[in-house]
Structures are given as structure tokens and as C-alpha cells.
Amino acid sequence: AEVLRLDGVTKSYGSGEVETEVLHGIDLVLEQGEFAALIGPSGSGKSTLLNLIGLLDRPKYGRLSIQGEEASQLEEAELTRLRGRAIGFVFQYHYLIAEFTALENVMMPMLVERGRPDAEMQKRAESLLEKVGLLQWKDSRATNISGGQQQRVAIARALAMNPALVLADEPTGNLDTHTADGVFELMREVNLSNRTTFLIVTHDPRLAARCDRIIELVDGRIVSDRPNTRT
Ligand code: ADP
Ligand code: ADP
């Protein structure tokens, strides 16, 4: 099944005389279960593209659909709902809430959505923490665990709503090589066990080489999009 489709998507910043187009006619389809890397030099438009796909910003031209829902047809509130239901975000910095425990951080997206009994949310958050190997840290404050553990909590939180698509922007950029490998492996396991689609922005060629597909952006255009047969 198609999780994501972009047809001729463009994006500009500024307006009038200073308007600059930074994405030019992007076509891209991601199917369920794909594990894709998005690479390209700094300033090539990776973050901008991720913001559009994450429904945090709207294209200027072109069409963008998530799970068959065409984003330009949706009002702000519907976009927010689609984002919450379909997309999980992992950033370079984890953005955990320092005053909250690991468990409370993972429960956050479920609390925002509401409508579930507390016990059920807690059980789901615990099972997610178990999946990322941190169940014994569930009552620790976010600031009292290591950087790699914090990023694992952030991944568990991204999975809270069982999204079809996880967007990860330099998810291991702050971590040492060994810890980065562990976090990367975790995403791979989730991808294989849940068929969750991943789109991972990375500057690390080692990690890109471990994805199934490598999409390369240069100056706002996809210049290469190839399966990676080495995995
Ligand atoms: P990265 O290369 O890691 O994506 P950048 O330094 O390019 O990070 O951008 C960091 C943030 O600053 C992004 O959210 C981006 O949208 C914003 N940004 C980048 N360039 C500009 C700019 N010329 N004017 C305003 N914001 C910008
Ligand atoms: P990357 O993530 O690949 O580093 P970005 O998407 O951050 O690239 O940036 C692509 C281009 O858009 C760059 O030229 C950047 O300066 C520009 N840009 C990014 N965000 C903004 C913004 N908020 N306002 C103006 N220009 C921006």
C-alpha cells in the first residue's frame, strides 16, 4: 500500500521579489514497509521536504498525499489529525520533556489525542519502552538517562500512535558511533516487525548504506533514487 505520494511538489520561501524556490517538482512515492534514506548536501532542501511530508508546512504547487489523503484538500484541524494518526517524528535532538519520566514522555502523544483509559495508555507506553529496551527506566526522569537512551525514548514516543510513516531527521546525529548503531538498529527492527515506513535524513554514509533505498537531493531536486541491494 502507498503511504506517501508527492507529485510535482514545489516549495518557496519569502514572497514577491525575494521569493526563492527551494524545492522544484518533487515526485516521490513510499510504500508500506520501506526503509529509505534521504541524503544530500546541507541546504539541498532535506529539512524543507521533511516538513512538507510531515504536514508541518504546505507545498506551493503540486500534490502530497498521506495514506491516500490529499493534504491540500484538508483544513488545518484535519491536517493535525492526519499528522497525529499517520506520522511519527524523530529529530536529532530528542525534545523530551525534562520534568517527565520516560513513561510519561512516551504517553504524551496518547494524552494529547485522549479518549483512551489511562491504564490502557500506560500499558501501551510500557510495551513500547520494553520494545526499545528501556522498561526498567520507565520511572526515570528524561534528564537522568543517557543520550542514546533518550533517543530510544523519543523513538518509542514516535511510535505511540502506531504511525504508518516515521520521519527521522538526523536521528543519530548527536550520538557516538556505537550508540548511533544501536538506535539505527532499533528503527530497523521496528520497520521489519511492524512494516512501519521510515524516511531517514542522514549525513552518515555508513547508515545510508544500511537502508533499502537511497534518495539523494541536490539543490531542491531528486538527482538519484535507487534501491540499495547491500542490505
Ligand atoms: P540542516 O542543514 O541541519 O537542515 P539548517 O541549518 O539548514 O539545518 O536549518 C536549520 C533550521 O533553520 C531549519 O528549520 C531551516 O528551515 C531554518 N533555515 C535554514 N535556512 C534558513 C534561512 N535562510 N532563513 C530562515 N530559516 C532558515
Ligand atoms: P537541508 O535540510 O538539506 O540542509 P533546508 O531544507 O534546511 O536544507 O534548506 C533548503 C534551502 O532553503 C536553503 O537554501 C535554506 O537556506 C533555505 N531555507 C530553509 N528554511 C528557510 C526558511 N524558513 N526561510 C528561508 N529560507 C529557508
Residue bearing the CA closest to ligand 2, atom 24: 13
Residue 113 pLDDT level (bands cut at 50, 70, 90): confident
Residue 230 pLDDT level (bands cut at 50, 70, 90): low
Contact 47 CB / ligand 1 (< 6 Å): yes
Atom of ligand 2 nearest to the CA of 51: 6
What distance in angstroms lies between residue 104's CA and the mean position of ligand 2's atoms?
33
pLDDT tens-place string over residues 124-158:
999 999 988 999 999 999 999 999 999 999 999 99
What distance in angstroms lies between residue 52's CA and the mean position of ligand 1's atoms?
14
The secondary element (H helix, E strand) that includes residue 62 is: strand 61-66
Residue bearing the CA closest to ligand 2, atom 6: 45
Query: What local confidence, expressed as pLDDT, does residue 174 receive?
Result: 85
Query: What local confidence, expressed as pLDDT, does residue 179 receive?
Result: 87
> Which range is least confidently modeled, 101-115, 150-164, 211-225?
101-115
The candidate with the shortest Cα–Cα distance to 50, out of 35, 41, 60, 38, is 38
Q: What's the rounded Cα separation, in Å, for the pair 206 and 203?
A: 9
Query: What local confidence, expressed as pLDDT, does residue 231 receive?
Result: 52
Prediction ipTM score:
0.72
Order across the sheet with 197-201: list the strands: 87-90, 165-169, 197-201, 35-39, 213-218, 221-227
* pTM for the predicted model, two decimal places: 0.88
Between the alpha carbon of residue 169 and those of residues 39, 54, 121, 181, the distances in Å are: 10, 11, 27, 15
pLDDT tens-place string over residues 170-184:
999 888 898 889 889
Residue 136: CA count within 13 A, CB half-sphere: 1
Grid coordinates representing 143 are: 534528564
What distance in angstroms lies between residue 152's CA and the mean position of ligand 1's atoms?
25
Query: What local confidence, expressed as pLDDT, does residue 2 receive?
Result: 96
The candidate with the shortest Cα–Cα distance to 85, out of 57, 113, 65, is 113
pLDDT tens-place string over residues 44-71:
999 999 999 999 999 999 999 999 999 9
**Top mutation candidate among 10, 11, 13, 38 for ligand 2, by most atoms within 8 Å of CB:** 13
